[in-house]
Each structure stands twice: as structure tokens, then as C-alpha cells.
A and B are shown apart, each in its own frame.
Chain A
Amino acid sequence: MHQSTLAQLSTALESNQINSEELTRLYLERCKQFNESLNCFITINEELALAQANAADKLRAAGNASPLTGIPIAQKDIFCTKGIKTSCGSKMLDNFIAPYDATVIEKMNAAGIVNIGKTNMDEFAMGSSNETSFYGAVKNPWDQDTVPGGSSGGSASAVAARLSPAATGTDTGGSIRQPASLCGITGLKPTYGRVSRYGMIAFASSLDQGGPMTQTAEDAALMMNVIAGFDERDSTSAEHPVDDYTTKLNDSIDGLKIGLPKEYFGEGLDSNIAKCVEDGIKELEKLGATCKEIELPNTELSIPAYYVVAPAECSSNLSRFDGVRFGHRCEDPKDLSDLYCRSRGEGFGKEVKRRIMIGAYVLSAGYYDAYYLKAQQIRHLIRDDFQNALKDVDVIAGPTATGTAFKLNEMIDDPISMYLSDLYTVSVNLAGLPAISVPAGFVNNLPVGMQLIGNYFEESRLLNIAHQFQQATDHHKAIPGGFE
């Protein structure tokens, strides 16, 4: 049963093959059994999950179930969940019990979804390896000496190991897509503003976007049907009509025009990964798609621009963690400055501190124009690059990450290399576009992801292409050894 997708579990529940309580117990068992080694959960919500499962069973018995009612889904520990510890992977919030639910959680609760646990993540979502978490590194179930990617590494690892049939993630510079790629699952970063950010602890407000991390595109569509939509509590949320993301899954992709950015297949890319992605594109061609080379000339500038914009916003967003109203407070502060500096100095880890300092620096008097403003101008160029490209093609395809899962501790002391590995993902956030990563094969038994980038609010189309691809391929069905 634990090998089932959301769609399959939905059918099983609907046909009374299993009830939510049994299903939830089954996954809770797996979580408890494997979390010690994988470390993908910060909190396992046994009590809450069982209560929600019982409620879901009643809902279903009363005929009020929706497709995902009663199915356990793990939540990245960045989403505030009322009455449950919400740590954001940080010592700063180790003692924080959220007093309210994020909109995403509210919507999941309303759909009768069981919140099985809160997944591990890079501290405040800053990282690409899940190694910056206060709760320790997460292991990649494909090779436990390697990282799962980040920042949604706990979610990716949990779904890959089938400890949870699906999970939520958030993506600021690739934090859904890159771990999805490294763990061999499907991850969708929706258009900026498609999923409410209310209650999702902010890293970089103009880039952050929550989304589904699932086994299949079909599952991602089912989850999007629950979490997408306008939220009056989030000013940046889009009042754009919401699709039923499942309706177009089975449409033919015959005639689809795919753009292949030459900048995505250049020097930085491992040739084995290039091969997997090229094979994936060939599959799409077999389904009737045509390809053409396109240019995204400012791709290289996306990393520097991103590492100005994201730290700038984060330095300000993280100022609220001051040891006064919630979160870590140092012992015996001697005065106000001591309270601030030590609470923050002790509560934040190294990478977070680095980014806060970079952010404070690029916004400070005399540097604003040269860094922050310049980065926002480049952001404009990058957005224009995509818009120009998307005039000629329907979607853009390429690799999700520059490599497969790397070894634990391999890059921990080399932030620059870590940053550069986000090359194919960050520009999408700067432009606010939707993008999906789908499993496209293996290199040395480690998964490789292929990324599809669409135009604004074209999640349905991305899910359709990804679903058609998954109908033709089996990469997404592979389960890591020991977790079958």
C-alpha cells in the first residue's frame, strides 16, 4: 500500500479497501521506523494525525469526502500549524508553537488531509543540501551518504522513501525542484502568487512560493486543486482563476513546442545528466512535441542577482526574530543590545547569518544602487528573456540541477559552489514563473530531474506534459532500495 500514489490511495479509500486510520497508522509506522536513519521529520504528529484520520473516516462515511480526504501528507516545517511546533529548521524557533494555521494548512485541513508530520529543511529554507538544519542533515534514501538537496530536503526524502505519499515544499530559488530532482520525485513550483504565502515563514517574500512534492504529476495536480487560489490575507496572491488541474492531464501533447536554452546545456552541466535530460526530451518528441534551441542570455546573471535579492529580503524578514515575543532568547541579557545580538547570534546558524549580513550590506547606505537596484534591473532582464523565449515556444525544458545528489559535507564549507549549483532554478523564481521537475533517469544509481518551465499560470499545461511523460516512462516509479 505504501507504494501507492495519492491517486491510487484516493481510489483505495473511496472503495473502502482501507480506511484513513489504517492508512495513517501504516505511514506513521514507516515514519517511526525510518526517520532515525533519514532524519526527514522534525516532528511526527502521531496524535494529531490519528485524530484527523478518524475525522476523515467519518467525513467519508457521511459522504462528504473530497479526493484527498483521509490521506496523510507531510508538511514542510516552514508552514505554521496551529498548536504544533513550527521550527523552520532553526534553533531560533525550536520552542515555537504556532498559534495559527498557514492558509495552505487551513486548506489541507478543510479537505480532510491528515497532517502526518513536519519535515526537516534547511534553516529558514536557506540551503541546497538540507545540511543547514538545526535538526541535522537529512539523508537521501537513494544513497544515505548523500544529501537530499534543499531546502525542502525532508519532504523530498520522505516522499522518495514513501514515508509519506506526498509532501509540501517551498521554493525560493529551487527548493522544491532541486530536492525533487536529487530524490527522484516530482516537484512543482507554481507561479508566484498562485499559492498563498500566509503562514509560510518568509525567506525572500518576492521569490517564495509553496507547492507540491509528489510521486507523480497527477498527484501534484490533486494537491494543487487543494492549495492553489487567491487569499485575501496575502497581498501578493493572484486573483487569477484557478484551474481544475486534473482535467488536462490526459490531453495529447502532439504539436507542443519545446524550447531548449543553450545556456542550460553548456559547460557547467555533467554530460551524464545532459544525456538523461536529452533522452527525456526525446520521449516528449515521440509524443509529438517539437524542439528548438532558444536563448536565455542573462541566465548567468541570475545567480548573482538572486544572491542579492534573496539575502536583502531575508535580512529584513528575519529581523522579527529578536527574542522578545517568541523564539530563542539568550540567558541573562545585560542590556537591550545584548538581548538582540546574543539571541540572534545563538538562534541562527552560520548560513543564515551569512545571508543576513550580505542582505544588510547590499541594502546599506551607499551600496543600495550598486547591489540591490542593479539586481532588480537584472531581474527585469531575466523576466524579459523568458517572455521573449515563450513567444516562440510553449515550454522550456532542461536539467533541474547541475548534478546528482552530492556527498554529505562535500560542499558545506563552500557556499559559493553550493550557490552555483542553483543555476537552472533561481532564474525561474526571479521571473516568478511556474516550473516542474520530473524524474528523468539515473546516473550512478542517483536520480536525475528534468525541468519544464511554463508561462505564468500555466501549471495545468506543465502538469499535462509531465503526466504524459510519466505515462511513457517509469523513472518516477522507482523506489530506493530498502524502502520498497
Chain B
Amino acid sequence: MSLDKTEVQKIAWLARLSIDEQDISTYSDELSNILGLVESMNSVDTNGISPIAHPLDLTARLRSDAITEINQREQFQKNAPLTDAGCYLVPKVIE
């Protein structure tokens, strides 16, 4: 599978990554090479093999419904680039 420039741009948008116009063809080559490597997976027949998302077959351990967290807004918002009146700010969203 090779990825042309349009596809690279599509993926970059899906992942919300700005990439420089002049880098697109490099990405196109590199990503195509990686996909080429990855496609060697097709050399093995995996019909009937169940996919595993975790190495160990464990099941979830649930927590009890209890409030354990306190308000740390001030502390957390020290890392925030832009806040006002306790809210995080982003350029105006039009719905």
C-alpha cells in the first residue's frame, strides 16, 4: 500500500497535525515504506485466530462508587495556556 500526497494530507487532518507542504512527499514515501513493512503480516493466514487486545487474559476489577477526588482546579490550571473564570479557552466554536 502506498500513500499518495492527498492521503497523507487526509490522515494528517484526521490526526490534526499540520505538516509543511514541502514535507508531504517525504511523509508519503516514509509512511508508504512503513505500510510496506507492515504488510508482510499478510504472509500468514490468521483465519479463525481470535485477536487479542491485551497480553494477559485478565478481566476488569471495578472500583466502588465513591468520591475520592477533591477540587484541584487552581493546581491543574497552572499548566493551562489560556483560562478565564475557571474555564479553559479555545477560539470560538461555531455550532
Q: Name A residues whose Cβ lies closer than 8 Å to a Cβ of B.
A: 95-97, 99, 191-193, 206, 232, 235-236, 238-239, 298, 300-301, 303-305, 307-308, 315, 319, 322-327, 329, 333-342, 344-346, 348, 353-354, 356-362, 364, 371, 373-381, 383, 415-416, 419-420, 429-433, 456
A375 to B41, CA, bound (A): 7
Asked if B38 and A380 sit within 8 Å, CB to CB, the answer is: no
Interchain nearest-CB distance for B76 vs A (Å): 6
Choice from B14, B37, B76 contacting A303 with Cβ under 8 Å: B37
Interchain nearest-CB distance for B84 vs A (Å): 13
A456 to B58, CA, bound (A): 13
Q: Which residues of B lie under 8 Å from residue A375 when comparing CB positions?
A: 38, 41
Given that A325-B88, A360-B11, A374-B41 are known contacts, is A348 also in contact with B49, CB under 8 Å in the complex? Answer: no
Q: Which residues of B lie under 8 Å from residue A235 when comparing CB positions?
A: 60-61
- Count chain B residues whose beta carbon lies closer than 8 angstroms to a beta carbon of A: 51
A339 to B19, CA, bound (A): 14
Given that A334-B91, A339-B90, A345-B18 are known contacts, is A357 also in contact with B8, CB under 8 Å in the complex? Answer: yes
Asked if A415 and B33 sit within 8 Å, CB to CB, the answer is: yes
Choice from A319, A325, A361, A373 contacting B3 with Cβ under 8 Å: A361
Q: Which residues of A lie under 8 Å from residue B56 when comparing CB positions?
A: 191-193, 238, 432, 456
Asked if B34 and A416 sit within 8 Å, CB to CB, the answer is: yes
Choice from A99, A304, A326 contacting B41 with Cβ under 8 Å: A304
Q: Dominant SS at the A interface?
A: helix
Q: Which residues of A lie under 8 Å from residue B61 when comparing CB positions?
A: 232, 235, 239
User: Could you list 8 A-B pairs, sorted by A, with CB under 8 Å?
Assistant: A235-B60, A304-B37, A308-B41, A324-B80, A336-B91, A360-B15, A374-B46, A378-B49
Asked if B31 and A357 sit within 8 Å, CB to CB, the answer is: yes
Asked if B11 and A301 sit within 8 Å, CB to CB, the answer is: no
Taking A361-B31, A415-B30 as given, write out 12 further A-B residue pairs in contact, using a Cβ cutoff of 8 Å, ordered by the A residue number. Answer: A192-B54, A192-B55, A193-B56, A323-B81, A329-B81, A338-B91, A341-B17, A344-B17, A354-B30, A354-B31, A374-B46, A375-B38
Asked if B19 and A99 sit within 8 Å, CB to CB, the answer is: no
Asked if A377 and B49 sit within 8 Å, CB to CB, the answer is: yes
Asked if B52 and A383 sit within 8 Å, CB to CB, the answer is: yes
Q: Which residues of A lie under 8 Å from residue B12 when comparing CB positions?
A: 341, 357
Asked if B78 and A305 sit within 8 Å, CB to CB, the answer is: no
Q: Which residues of B lie under 8 Å from residue A191 when comparing CB positions?
A: 56
Residue B53 CB within 8 A of the other chain: yes
Enumerate the 5 nearest inter-chain pairs by beta-carbon distance, A residue then B residue, closest first. Answer: A432-B55, A345-B18, A376-B51, A377-B46, A326-B79
Interchain nearest-CB distance for A322 vs B (Å): 7
Q: Which residues of A lie under 8 Å from residue B34 when comparing CB positions?
A: 307, 354, 358, 415-416, 419
Interchain nearest-CB distance for B88 vs A (Å): 5
Interchain nearest-CB distance for A422 vs B (Å): 12
Choice from A97, A345, A383, A430 contacting B17 with Cβ under 8 Å: A345
Interface positions of B from 33 to 84, Cβ below 8 Å from A: 33-35, 37-44, 46, 49-56, 58, 60-61, 63, 72, 75-76, 78-82
Given that A338-B91, A378-B41, A381-B46 are known contacts, is A348 also in contact with B17, CB under 8 Å in the complex? Answer: yes
A322 to B34, CA, bound (A): 26
Asked if B91 and A301 sit within 8 Å, CB to CB, the answer is: no
A236 to B61, CA, bound (A): 9
Residue B85 CB within 8 A of the other chain: no
Q: Which residues of A lie under 8 Å from residue B37 when comparing CB positions?
A: 303-304, 307, 416, 419-420
Asked if B75 and A99 sit within 8 Å, CB to CB, the answer is: yes
Asked if B38 and A378 sit within 8 Å, CB to CB, the answer is: no
Choice from B75, B78, B90 contacting A336 with Cβ under 8 Å: B90
A430 to B44, CA, bound (A): 17
Choice from B3, B19, B42 contacting A345 with Cβ under 8 Å: B19
Asked if B18 and A99 sit within 8 Å, CB to CB, the answer is: no
Asked if B88 and A324 sit within 8 Å, CB to CB, the answer is: yes
Asked if B44 and A97 sit within 8 Å, CB to CB, the answer is: no
Asked if B79 and A96 sit within 8 Å, CB to CB, the answer is: yes
Closest to B63 in A: A232
